[in-house]
Chains A and B, each alone.
Chain A
Amino acid sequence: MKLTYHRGTIVIKGDYSVPNTKWDARSGCYRSQALHYRDIVEYLQNSGVRYEDNVLDLIPCPELSCNVQLREYQEKALERWLQQKRGVVVMPTGSGKTILALKIIEKINAPALIVVPTLDLVRQWKEELRRFITPIGEYTGEHKDLQPLTVSTYDSAYIYAETLGNRFKLVIFDEVHHLPSGGYQQIAEMFASPFRLGLTATYERDDGLHEKIPRLIGGKVYEIHVDDLAGKYLSSYETRKILVALTDDEQRDYEQYHDTFKKYLASRHITLRSPDDFTKIVMRSGYDPEAREAILARNKAERIAYNSRMKIKKIEELLNRENRTIIFTRYNDMVYEISKRFFIPCITYRTVSDEREEIFRKFKEGAYPALASSQVLDEGIDVPEANIGIIVSGTGSNRAYIQRLGRLLRPRENKLAVLYELVTKDTKEIRTSYRRGT
């Protein structure tokens, strides 16, 4: 038997039948998804079949060691994961997922690829990985540098899965709830890496797709909640909802746009029961001009509610130099508006990485007491020392909400962390916010 890797698949030559493989008439051989590499090898070993294994072509790797101390719950998570060397660890943001990952890399002591959702996280992981005395690689749209420890994005890992899939023994998926969406699961399928780790603060997805994760990298092996850690390892926090009224003009426009939308629904006999119903109207808008007009009107109404002028007023009241404040908004133009009004540095998905870095650094050093951002900070970016959060617009998504919260939960003594949520009075926005059950 001979096993080789071919662009995301394992080619098996020999006359012994192996599970999870299929005959490929195009190339005259048996073939399997690279995902099954570990199972195939185990099967062949258990069956006592002699085979030649050329699948992995690992990047030459020095001895990996780093000096990190695990907390009690991290030790426990490590122990659980090591039993199978695959699976997902669920821990709140700020509880040291990265530290756990570093320890796991040290234990496996072999080339590892870390897959993360954003370029910010790439940068942050590279920073953390410096604790190993080895060059850290980056494989993204911007850099293509392969090293024993390399960080990549889901997008790049997807595009280059065929060529990267046999170079690493361990693959770590940060924010692993992204893995089942769209084509990303093919990353896991095209990688032959026998050892797999998933990390997230929010395992469950609204669409139920998390059920696919066990097949791709293994099931949940350890889980701990915010409430189990708050106080001891994380600073405690409280949330305060502030109701803000629309100005008269805004109220009038809001109602007018909202009416247009409602009339469209009535004219087509549509009732909105779930987010899916709304998606259907969006799809209709591709060919039905009236549907498009209705969607546009609804978006305008929403933006009025989200971006109400009175919220700017409220921000003015809440800003205080004694605090470290982060302002979250949903729309970019709102971020720019806040930035222009208060001269608060802003970070959006368009901020170039140099500038982002500079802003983060100055925020960390305390030179900037506040910063404003649209959704780019949603996931796991290390923004330490913030004790006040202001959500100017909620997205109504459970996950985004938890993670924004998580950002404020940094261990710091005697710190009272407060998350303000500015919600517009008498609009649908209240409902989005209530839906989370806060």
Chain B
Amino acid sequence: MLPKELLMVWKRKGTIRPRYLSDMTIAGEIIQVFTQYQGKKYKEILMQLEGMEGDDFKLVRGLGTLLERRCRFQSGSEVQGKEVRFFLFDKGFVKTLEERNHLLDEASLQFHIPTEQVEEAMFSDLEEEQILVEFIPPAPEELVRWYNLSLTQTLLFDALELTFKVDSNYQQVFRYVKYLGLMYEINGEIKVTGPASLFKKNRKYGTALAKLLPFIMNAKRWRVQAKIETEVGGEPRILDFSLDSTNNVFLPTSVDSAVHFDSEVEARFYRDFTALNLGWELVREPDIVKAGHYVVIPDFGFYKNGLKHYLEVVGFWTPEYLRKKIAKLKEAEANITVAVNETLECKKEDFTGDVIFYKNKIPVMSIVKILREIEEKQIEKELCSLKEVSLSGDVVSIQEKARELHVSPATLTRMEIPGYHVIGERFVSQTFLEKVREELRPFQEYPKVEEILNGHQLSMLALDSMGYRVIWDGLHPTKVVEKKRDTKSV
């Protein structure tokens, strides 16, 4: 879902439709910006994006807004902005520039930073001063699908009613209709409204209808229609929106939501985490963990290559509940990260292990950081025990080799193996790549190139290592050309 002001629509003859995106180029370019600006300030990213806005500022901002959810930002300055500014504020105020410089010098001494940096540090904890420390890029196509779903949901914020038809997934859809406090009438199709829709046209249920949409789309075949209240030429109008599964719109293929959640916070975390596709299996209420005389069933379990980690969400309010919970978690015999609602009167010391504080949503990227560290430890351990790896053959599956050596695939890709390249999920020998490269030289048309690659069990990813570049037309690759000389190649 996007802020309403970023919604782009076409209105024609009483109908309304989001301006769906089908071109991957712009999505790819914006992903590129975030990738390149890791280590830079948020405000620099904003400026770069602003430069790309052109006539499509809503599109650029919309895509940027979605990508920000895959970013982790951190305060850049070593000293806390708050400490610095309160030090400066505590002098009352300064009037002349001499007074000002004098105070800057004092602050410089106090915080052991150069005078010029004091001003910079003063508000270094502001959002736009934060530094992008991690970004998980989606594939451009994934972003396009995600964007189109978000546009549709945003359009539904102004929906007065929603009518739909599905050929499967009834149970889930109706469970959510109830969960979201909506009502329905069946008359061939199913019309969803809210209790107060009876009295006047009512946009209050728009957000709930937007939340329902992905569950409808989970059906194999589906159709939705909605009445959207909007303005045309300054006058309020009610326009028709319709969309179905046969439409040529790129939408997410399936929304994993078969799991039931206690709260919106947990449901959102599940959605956001699985969208990142990190190879960690996320399981809701996984195993039982022993904790002294009791057991704890954590909210989430993360599994990958024999690694295991748990997440417990503490978002409750009653003091007794909290006391019991803390006592149990302290005795738990497993690695549990605890995500604590910031407004609870808790301190980090109350828990053992990792603690994350959250406000409205669990910071997915902070969990990712913890999981990364766990993986990193495993890789380091395995790298130490793994002395030499010998490969034979032209193409070797990393997965299989890893299984054979009892290590994780990530560890293997870290190893430098002479004469071999890592391409996607395979090791490919240098000699073999050169052979294929020669074979490809006469051809440019993508279908032919693909045929040759498939014949050798290679994917498109191999083209990059061979010094070729793919030219796209929207979502479709059309041509393959040689990269310019300065890029590294075989």
Specify which of A9, A186, A368 is in contact with B89 (CB 8 Å cutoff). A368
Contact call A343/B185, Cβ cutoff below 8 A = no
Is A211 in contact with chain B by the CB < 8 A criterion? Answer: no
Known A6-B195, A7-B195: A319·B95 in contact at CB below 8 Å? yes
Contact call B93/A343, Cβ cutoff below 8 A = yes
Contact call B198/A370, Cβ cutoff below 8 A = no
Is A340 in contact with chain B by the CB < 8 A criterion? Answer: yes
Contact call A344/B93, Cβ cutoff below 8 A = yes
Contact call B127/A183, Cβ cutoff below 8 A = no
Contact call B198/A321, Cβ cutoff below 8 A = no
- A158 to B207: give the CA distance in the assembly, Å: 12
- A32 to B439: give the CA distance in the assembly, Å: 77
Is A22 in contact with chain B by the CB < 8 A criterion? Answer: yes
Specify which of A31, A283, A292, A367 is in contact with B234 (CB 8 Å cutoff). A283
**Residues on A with beta carbons closer than 8 Å to the beta carbon of B381:** none
Is B227 in contact with chain A by the CB < 8 A criterion? Answer: no
- A350 to B127: give the CA distance in the assembly, Å: 9
| Stretch in contact with the other chain, from A61-69, A95-103, A123-131, A142-150 | A142-150
Specify which of B55, B82, B103, B198 is in contact with A31 (CB 8 Å cutoff). B198
A4-44 CB mask vs B (1 if < 8 Å, else 0) is 00111100000000000010111100011100000000000
Cβ of B116 to closest chain A Cβ, rounded Å: 13
Is A394 in contact with chain B by the CB < 8 A criterion? Answer: no
Is B181 in contact with chain A by the CB < 8 A criterion? Answer: yes
Contact call B91/A162, Cβ cutoff below 8 A = no
Contact call A280/B234, Cβ cutoff below 8 A = yes
Q: Which residue of B lies closest to A341 (CB)?
A: B100
Number of B residues, CB within 8 Å of A: 43
Is A379 in contact with chain B by the CB < 8 A criterion? Answer: no
Q: Which residue of A lies closest to B122 (CB)?
A: A340
Is B90 in contact with chain A by the CB < 8 A criterion? Answer: yes
Contact call A8/B183, Cβ cutoff below 8 A = no
Cβ of B181 to closest chain A Cβ, rounded Å: 5
**Residues on B with beta carbons closer than 8 Å to the beta carbon of A190:** 196
Specify which of B8, B95, B196 is in contact with A8 (CB 8 Å cutoff). B196
Number of A residues, CB within 8 Å of B: 49
Contact call B196/A369, Cβ cutoff below 8 A = no
Is A289 in contact with chain B by the CB < 8 A criterion? Answer: yes
Q: Which residue of B lies closest to A370 (CB)?
A: B93
Is B131 in contact with chain A by the CB < 8 A criterion? Answer: no
Cβ of A159 to closest chain B Cβ, rounded Å: 8
**Residues on A with beta carbons closer than 8 Å to the beta carbon of B203:** 183
- A314 to B286: give the CA distance in the assembly, Å: 65
Is A420 in contact with chain B by the CB < 8 A criterion? Answer: no
Contact call A31/B91, Cβ cutoff below 8 A = no
**Residues on B with beta carbons closer than 8 Å to the beta carbon of A343:** 85, 88-89, 91, 93-94, 100, 103
Is B490 in contact with chain A by the CB < 8 A criterion? Answer: no
Contact call B93/A26, Cβ cutoff below 8 A = no
- A416 to B229: give the CA distance in the assembly, Å: 52
**Residues on B with beta carbons closer than 8 Å to the beta carbon of A33:** 196, 199
Cβ of A168 to closest chain B Cβ, rounded Å: 18
Q: Which residue of A lies closest to B91 (CB)?
A: A343
Is B119 in contact with chain A by the CB < 8 A criterion? Answer: yes
Is A223 in contact with chain B by the CB < 8 A criterion? Answer: no
**Residues on A with beta carbons closer than 8 Å to the beta carbon of B94:** 342-343
Q: What are 9 residue pairs bridging A and B, where the CB atoms are less than 8 Å apart in the complex?
A: A22-B198, A26-B184, A33-B199, A183-B204, A186-B202, A189-B196, A339-B85, A343-B103, A369-B93
Beyond the given A7-B195, A336-B123, A339-B122, could you list 18 further A-B residue pairs with CB under 8 A, ordered by the A residue number?
Answer: A9-B196, A26-B185, A33-B199, A141-B360, A143-B343, A186-B196, A186-B204, A190-B196, A286-B8, A321-B92, A342-B93, A342-B95, A343-B89, A345-B85, A350-B127, A362-B89, A367-B90, A367-B92
Chain A interface residues (CB < 8 Å from chain B): 6-9, 22, 24-27, 31-33, 141-145, 158, 162, 183, 186, 189-190, 276, 280, 283, 286, 289, 292, 316, 319, 321, 336, 339-345, 350, 355, 358-359, 362, 367-370
